[in-house]
Amino acid sequence: MQIGLVYDAVAAHRMDVVLGYSTDGRVASYNLVMLEDDRQYFPPYDASPIINEEIAETEPEVREAIQRLAGTIDTETMQELNYQSDNNLIEPSIVAERFLQEHNYFEEE
């Protein structure tokens, strides 16, 4: 089932339990409760920084910028950022820029 329909179905009480995405902003929009995966059935969903090798060699500042983000956004933070976009209808690029500004990403080290 398309993920948007899943959330609509659970909100309309047509389903009691659904498979969703832990970082989806609609979890908060629909006041859903995420169940604990105490048996680790589902693998962790961790973002990984990836860069084209040619760009990494010719533009080392791009690699450094991407590496600065590694390990900085946990599941709850990503869900909140997605909520701002999904529920509050803020453009993702604006949500991302605000996050980076709030965390002094653009400041020189």
Tell me the whole-structure pTM to 2 decimals: 0.76
Helices (H), 1-109: 3-11, 26-29, 53-58, 60-69, 75-86, 92-102
What pLDDT, in 10s, does the model give residues 32-71? 998 999 999 988 777 778 889 999 999 999 988 888 888 8
**Nearest CA to 19 among 39, 40, 42, 38?**
42
pLDDT at 98: 96
Q: What is the mean pLDDT of residues 13-36?
A: 89
What pLDDT, in 10s, does the model give residues 68-102? 888 888 889 999 999 999 899 999 999 999 999 99
Inter-residue long-range contacts of 95-98, CB under 8 Å, 24+ positions, other chains counted: none
